[in-house]
Amino acid sequence: MFDNDIFEKWLDTQSQEIVEKMGKGEQLRTEQMMVLVLKAQSNHFYHLDQDLRGEMKMLREDYE
C-alpha cells in the first residue's frame, strides 16, 4: 500500500526545491510544474477535508 507520509514528505521537499529555483529565476521543466500543481491540489484537498470535518462536527452537535 502507498504510505501518505512518505509521499507528503517527498512532495514537500520537491516543491520547496522548485520554489527556490523559481526564486532564482531559473526556468522550470514540465515535470517540475506538474509537481507544483500536485502540491497545490494536495493543499486544496487538505483544506476541503478540514472544512468538511468541521461541518460534520457542527451537524453532529446540532442533532445531540
From residue 7, alpha-carbon distances to 21, 44, 46, 61 in Å are: 21, 16, 14, 34
pLDDT tens digits, 38-53: 999 999 998 999 999 9
pLDDT tens digits, 3-60: 788 999 999 999 999 999 999 999 999 999 999 999 999 999 989 999 999 999 999 9
In the chain, alpha helices (H): 4-23, 30-63
**The overall pTM is greater than 0.85:** no
| Cα(41)–Cα(7) distance, integer angstroms | 14
| 22: its cell numbers | 523559481
